[in-house]
Amino acid sequence: MISFIRKYVTSWPVLALLGLVLVAFVVTGIGDPFAGGGTGGSLARVGKTDIAESSFLKQYDRVVTQARAQNPGLTAQEAARQGAVEQVLDQMTGSAALDEFAAKHGITVSERLVDGAIASIDAFRVAGKFDQATYMRLLQARGLTDKELREGLRSDMIRKALLVPVAAGAQVPREVALPYTRLLLDVHEGEAGIIPPPLVAAPSDAQVSAYLTANRARFMAPERRGFRFALIDRATLAAAVPVTDAEVAAYYAANRATYGGVEQRRLSQVVLPDAAKAQAFVAALGKGESFAAAAQRLAGAAPEDVALGLLTQTKYAAASNAALATQVFAATSGAVVGPVKTDFGFNVVRVDAVVAPAGKSLAALTPEITAKLRADKAEAKLADMVASIEDGFGSGDSFADAVKANALTAVTVAPVAKDGAGAPSEALPVIAKAFDADPADGASVQDLGNGRFAVLELGQVISPAPLPLATARPAVVAALTAELRARAAKATADAITADVAKGVKFADALAKRGLARPQPVKGRRIDVGNQQQVPPIIAAFLTMTPGQVRSIPGPAGSLALIHVDRIVPGDIAQAPPLVTATRQQLAQLAPDEIASAFGRAVEREIGIKVNPGVVAAAKRRILGDPATP
């Protein structure tokens, strides 16, 4: 299974358990009684729900788009060749089955909970609050409607409500962990050999032509798209935004607390153990005794213990408590506050001096305030411009209308492939958006990130086309030669495997074919358990049984051969903590396993019927080759 499928599709019950089926993909894709059917028929029927081809293709495109965040070079065609069509369909049918199961048993989610879920999504929040304009803009950018998002979130919440209680009860007894622990300690002993890249004759013209015909989808000119765009850049808008001296002064006046500095106070403090001594201390101050002398006499405190120095209210609150700090900083210079009971005893505090805040002047802060006001204005202007253009498109405005009304500069790009070769540099950030756009849609505004948007309109779209033999010949010859060499190496490996199965020693089977003597290999699973990447040959060796021979592709068309002579059983008694560790690791996997088992049981109860013909047709459309099975 390819890595992007593991990350972005995986097991649908596990995604539902984590609440990620829609939130991770921002998709729904499941047909409902109010959705129109697809033009290509139904790929599957789940209970009473149809998975329409149009819905499937929409979700497939979003899954692949999401995967490109980790693998920018991934294409829809490459993903389909590696099994993504089947994986996405499995996710959709499984999710639909759980939805039907919930409906069958009367499980639902209120509209208020869905509202709360939407409001809590960070992408829809501005300055910590839900923003309707941002919400609608992001939905449009992802090709979603408010109804689709709400239905998807509601389904996610129902799935999670079903699966979390099921998974929470997963337990792993010690007896289950024992065989897995033994596998970690078993010692595999064997040998490894190598089959060098075999030499093969250059393929004939007939072979090259036949290979190209049989593998037409691998040798295609990619889809190319032409488009027009106009950039909207927050930084450019900011440079043209005026900020007046009056605006700066008004902002400074309204935010004096921010720019005016912080008041400090010089304080003296004594802490008495009981109320009686505290009252006696205050009485002594009233009779004219100095604070330091009274503290020395009644509390045994030295002058340096009494003088706290200059403190802000925040710092003093951290050393005492907020209530006392509030009283102290409300008192005038020379005033005595207390006694006040705190966690330390009875505090008596004198305000020795009040030091006014040393704030920055308006002149010093003018550049900083000007930059902030300019950024705020530019952000507002950007949002207004984007909203105005989108509203205009909704009312029938054209690309040219939007460019003219907003004094933008339009750039026309001749048809280019998705890799952007030959496109002007300023068009490169827009190309991915152009390929994500639906040719049937009109002009749109696309978010490029970092305060940049593009007004985009597709032009000519040139579908993928077979490359002529003359153009494709070098690539075809290279691919065919590599395949012929791989076949020859595999034939040798199969012959060696057959000999070993008949009782011939592994070393003798290699020598019989003029290959180098094998090297001894020994290992345990536990020895490679913490490695990030285990070499394929070692991974194979540690999963084989005695007598087995397995071949692993090597560099430049070579094949590595691995043979297991014997497995020496591990002794669990010598590693008791390992049983506990293994049990803990299995316990981490158990919730996912239980959730998956429950999900498959739901599928059986609801019933899933896949239409192989429609699935195959959808896959051919994705691959861009009607002849592809």
- Exposure of 213 by Cβ count < 10 A (0-12 exposed, 13-18 middle, 19+ buried)? exposed
Q: What is the pTM of this model?
A: 0.46
pLDDT mean across residues, the chain: 85
Give CA separation, 80 vs 84, 327, 618, 624, in Å: 5, 71, 10, 11
- Exposure of 254 by Cβ count < 10 A (0-12 exposed, 13-18 middle, 19+ buried)? exposed
Q: Are 364 and 271 in contact (CB under 8 A)?
A: no
Q: What is the pLDDT of residues 31-63, one digit of tens each?
A: 332 233 334 578 999 999 999 988 888 888 878
pLDDT, position 625? 61
Q: Are 555 and 196 in contact (CB under 8 A)?
A: no
Name the H helices within 271-357. Answer: 275-286, 291-299, 303-306, 313-319, 322-330
Check whether 28 has a pLDDT greater than 60. Answer: no
* The CATH number of domain 262-355, selected from 3.40.50.970, 1.10.10.10, 3.10.50.40, 3.90.226.10: 3.10.50.40
Q: What is the pLDDT of residues 473-497, one digit of tens each?
A: 999 999 999 889 989 999 999 999 9
What is the average pLDDT across 197-217? 91
Domain ranges of the chain: 3-171+588-623, 187-219+468-568, 224-234+379-463, 262-355
**Residues 6 or more apart in contact with residue 550 via CB below 8 angstroms:** 540, 541, 544, 561, 562
| Higher pLDDT among residues 64 and 267, named by residue | 267
Query: Which of 577, 521, 598, 582 minimizes the C-alpha distance to 172?
Result: 582
Q: Percent of the chain, pLDDT > 70? A: 91
CA–CA gap between residue 28 and residue 139 (Å, rounded):
13
Q: Are 20 and 29 in contact (CB under 8 A)?
A: no
Q: What is the pLDDT of residues 100-136, one digit of tens each?
A: 898 899 988 889 888 888 888 888 888 778 888 888 8
CA–CA gap between residue 207 and residue 377 (Å, rounded):
67
Q: Give the class (CATH, top level) of 3-171+588-623.
A: mainly alpha
Query: Which of 225, 242, 178, 218 minimizes the C-alpha distance to 478?
Result: 218
CA–CA gap between residue 250 and residue 620 (Å, rounded):
65
Torsion angle of the four alpha carbons 63, 68, 70, 73, in this order, in degrees rounded to the nearest 10: 140
Q: Are 313 and 263 in contact (CB under 8 A)?
A: yes
